[in-house]
Amino acid sequence: MASPIRSHPEPAPALIDPAGLDAAFSSLADLLNQAPGAPAVVRHALEVVREAEAMLAAQRQRIAHLEHLSATDDLTGLGNRRGFLDHLRRHLAAAKRHGETGVLALCDLDHLKQVNDRHGHPAGDAVLRQFAEALRRNVRETDVVARLGGDEFAILLTRCRIAGGMTRIETLAALAEAQALVWRGTPIPLRVSVGAVSYDAGATPDALIAAADARLYECKAARRDQRSSRPG
């Protein structure tokens, strides 16, 4: 099971000024040049080196933390659009080298605007978090889920047969829809529109996303037609 969502990650500490590293190494050079071989000087020089190494390690850790935040959706804890597109480009390049196939799906939560209008934005946020958690719990570690923005999510099923991947996407949507949110005593049903496409070793990110988006539009149009054809 995936790690718990952090809706509000702690702010990253300020980066270390690189000038501090330059000063540390400058002090080391001065000491060694002035009195090479002197035991006290050498010991102090080693302390300076250790301090510089610690500063570099802290700098790398903080940069990695900032990079993680820049690729994470704050509300759901999933990857955001930027992080997902970066991952998709890298994955498709690797899939091309190894001849792998998989499935990309774009998902929209239907009627989220009505939820916000009727119950308030906190209820809409709760719906988004619940859907994100349903996806997170039911995908493999090798798969990728992200919130692209608003009510749109992406699911990348990697290293899977196309038929099996399409079935899993349908199962994920059904599992999410089966978990109605109860907001202040009122059930809020969840409806998901999905556009899924398979990819092979020759797929490109732009073409794949465009194809999935077209399928998503077809799904939403079909649902509208179904509603309009129902007897009044």
Q: For 153-196, give the DSSP string.
A: EEEEE-S--HHHHHHHHHHHHHHHHTS-EEETTEEE---EEEEE
Q: What pLDDT does 210 receive? A: 94
Write the Ramachandran bin of 88: left for phi over 0, alpha for psi from -120 to 50, otherwise beta. Answer: alpha
- Which of 25-29, 42-46, 105-109 tops mean pLDDT? 105-109
Q: What pLDDT does 4 receive? A: 39
Q: Residue 31, exposed/middle/buried by CB under 10 A (0-12, 13-18, 19+)?
A: middle
Residue 229 has pLDDT above 80, yes or no: no
32 vs 183, higher pLDDT: 183
Residues 58-86 have a mean pLDDT of 81
Residue 58 has pLDDT above 50, yes or no: yes
DSSP 8-class letter at 71: T
Please state the length of the chain. Answer: 232
Asked: is 81-229 a CATH 3.40.50.150 domain? The reply is: no
Report pLDDT digits (tens) over 130-184: 999 999 999 999 999 999 999 999 999 998 888 888 899 999 989 888 887 889 8
Residue 213 has pLDDT above 90, yes or no: yes
Residues 17-34 have a mean pLDDT of 58
Percentage of the chain lying above the pLDDT 70 cut: 74
Q: What is the pTM of this model?
A: 0.71
Q: Catalytic residue at 125? A: no
Distance CA 118, CA 127 (A): 13
Distance CA 113, CA 222 (A): 19
Tokens of 17: 């000024």
Task: Name the nearest CA neighbour of 156 among 97, 217, 197.
Answer: 197
Distance CA 132, CA 147 (A): 8
Task: Name the nearest CA neighbour of 119 among 186, 178, 192.
Answer: 186
Residue 25 has pLDDT above 70, yes or no: no
Residues 83-97 have a mean pLDDT of 91
Residue 208 has pLDDT above 90, yes or no: yes
Q: At what angle do helices 112-119 and 121-137 cross, to 10 degrees?
A: 140
Contact by Cβ (8 Å): 127, 190: yes
Q: Which of 30, 151, 200, 213 is catalytic?
A: 151
Q: What pLDDT does 177 receive? A: 87
Report pLDDT digits (tens) over 184-204: 889 998 889 999 999 887 788
Residue 20 has pLDDT above 80, yes or no: no
Contact by Cβ (8 Å): 173, 109: no
Q: Indicate the SS3 state at residue 69.
A: helix
Q: What pLDDT does 5 receive? A: 39
Q: Which of 28-37, 51-60, 72-81, 105-114 has the lowest mean pLDDT?
A: 28-37
